[in-house]
Amino acid sequence: MAHLRSRRRLGLAVPLALSLTASLGFLPAAASAAPLEEPSAQAADASALAYVVNTRPDHRTIESVKKAVAAAGGTVLTSYDKIGVIVAHSANADFAKVMRTVRAVQSAGATRTTPLTAAGTTDEGPVQLLTKKQATKTTRVSGTAADSEPLEADQWDLRAIGADKAAKINPGSSKVTVAVIDTGIDDTHPDLAPNFSAAQSANCAGGVPDTSAGAWRPYNPIEDYHGTHVAGEIAAARNGIGVAGVAPGVKVAGIKVSDPKNGLFYPESVVCAFVFAADHGVEITNNSYYVDPWLYNCMDDPDQKAIVDAVNRAQLYAQRKGTLNLASAGNSGHDMDADSIVDETSPDDSTPVTRTINPHTCFDVPTQLPGVVTVSATGVKDEKSYYSSYGYGVVDVAAPGGDRKFQTPTDTPSQNGRILSTMPNGEYGWLQGTSMAAPHASGVAALLKSRYPKATPAMLQALLKAQADNPGCPESYDQDGDGKQDAVCEGGKRFNGFYGFGVVDALDAVD
């Protein structure tokens, strides 16, 4: 199970109320997403670490650096020659230090703090799924319109951004694909199967893409639910079953990057995912995570600098190939435009240390990389969710992510303030987090790409910002009523730190 994170996939979804046990009587599985064998790349020397070595993207230089890798006691796992990123394994404790002395190397560093074969700890919270009493696959929820999906009455988030109305005008084009870089997708789910693109899916865990049949599915469908939930928010089909996605006519692909032993998203896996998406014609990627093991990667640390360099090269390559990348802002409640932030969670693959960082020189990756659309979370009242990170000049747009504490709907059957979507094994469940906000924005971006197929990533980002509706900074943000401001919103009605250019609007995107 993935480690509980401040923003992510499994951790990006803030823990919910009911325990994940068979006794709750969950909806039955349509088909099982069976766990896969661990990638051979993980079967390394118990004392070895993984590294990224970054150099000029030309053949002669890369071949020279590969020889230097071997001389320093390393083994090249793979090389992304087009961006000058080499992934290597080495048990030499001084490997990175030696590689940084090589003339052609521009940056080099370890991508983790524990050996390749080490298993991480897990503390994922319980997840709330629908019970058989709450819904079935064939019976509509009371009060649901005849032309809507059976569980759509509980999808307040679709109505909040006009996605229900947008679907009647333009549900999105099947020529547009959103790749979910995450824990994998259960493509056998009846709401996802109609729109799933196997040809654009892979398992990138470890840094080498595996495109064998089913490689993109979760290792454990009970625990690795996050990617399937995200995928449903984007593109669950309008087929009379379960829920609907923001863009129910587009394709969705799964690029799995979670480590099979601890569920973490290491840099080499994310590099692989961005390059794979770009090379396979993906128009949009959704990134509801931060790259492990550091919540913030500081440029004055040579290892962390190399991580930023490698992932940035990969995501910029994707942009140049025509891919727009969106990422969640985070669930730490941090002001990422502040003078300083206290990080108590890094590194998350070993023993965390408390450190005070400067968010202007220490970066949340990929959220704060250039050209990436950063998405904050809102609740039913269109207010910033209590957990959502924010920041003037950091957040680009906002989208529904849920808020179970302070923003609960009164007009839905469940009155649940979280986000309802698909789960592995044909199930459905509620999660909340900026992990859920990013796919809503990705869905709207997919609708815009469907309407403007020739739009470049930069043009698409501009369109996404232009159609957003900005509520402006609130007069007061005292969510718990204790008389103190829980966060301070900088900016005005057009652009501010809570919502960026505003909350995305699916109806405006198609109309």
- Residue 45: predicted pLDDT: 55
Confidence at 46, pLDDT banded by 50, 70, 90: low
- Residue 145: predicted pLDDT: 53
* Total number of residues shown for the chain: 511
- Measured between alpha carbons, how far is 157 from 421 in angstroms, rounded to an integer? 11
- Residue 6: predicted pLDDT: 42
Instruction: Say if CB 318 and CB 270 are below 8 A apart.
Output: no
- Residue 275: predicted pLDDT: 98
CA distances from 405 to 121, 384, 440 (A): 28, 12, 21
- Residue 460: predicted pLDDT: 98
For the segment 489-504, what is each residue's pLDDT rounded down to a tens digit? 999 999 999 999 999 9
- Measured between alpha carbons, how far is 99 from 102 in angstroms, rounded to an integer? 5
Asked whether the predicted pLDDT for residue 429 surpasses 70, the reply is yes
**Domain ranges, ordered by start, for the chain:** 9-41+128-333+370-505, 44-110
For the segment 172-196, what is each residue's pLDDT rounded down to a tens digit? 999 999 999 999 999 999 999 999 9
Q: Is 168 exposed, middle or buried (0-12, 13-18, 19+ CB in 10 A)?
A: exposed
Confidence at 16, pLDDT banded by 50, 70, 90: very low
Confidence at 430, pLDDT banded by 50, 70, 90: very high
Task: Output the six-digit token pair for 200.
Answer: 């654009």
Task: Output the six-digit token pair for 452.
Answer: 């403007």
Lowest-confidence region among 42-51, 71-80, 121-130, 473-482: 121-130
- Residue 47: predicted pLDDT: 82
Fold of 44-110: Alpha-Beta Plaits (3.30.70)
Asked whether the predicted pLDDT for residue 111 surpasses 50, the reply is yes
At which residue do the structure tokens 């198609």 appear? 510
Q: Is 397 exposed, middle or buried (0-12, 13-18, 19+ CB in 10 A)?
A: buried
Q: How many CB atoms lie within 10 A of CB 227?
A: 30
Per the prediction, the chain carries an average pLDDT of 89
The CATH H-level (homologous superfamily) assignment of domain 9-41+128-333+370-505 is: Peptidase S8/S53 domain (3.40.50.200)
- Residue 28: predicted pLDDT: 30
Instruction: Say if CB 178 and CB 252 are below 8 A apart.
Output: yes
Instruction: Say if CB 233 and CB 274 are below 8 A apart.
Output: no
- Measured between alpha carbons, how far is 297 from 443 in angstroms, rounded to an integer? 29
- Residue 130: predicted pLDDT: 63
For the segment 335-384, what is each residue's pLDDT rounded down to a tens digit? 999 999 999 999 999 999 999 999 999 999 999 999 999 999 999 999 99
Q: What is the CA radius of gyration of the chain?
A: 21
Instruction: Say if CB 311 and CB 416 are below 8 A apart.
Output: no
pTM for this prediction: 0.90
Asked whether the predicted pLDDT for residue 72 surpasses 50, the reply is yes
Strand partners, 79: 86
Q: Which residues of 292-330 are buried (b: 16+ CB within 10 A; e: fewer)?
A: bbbbbbbeeeebbbbbbbbbbbbbbbbbebbbbbbbbbb
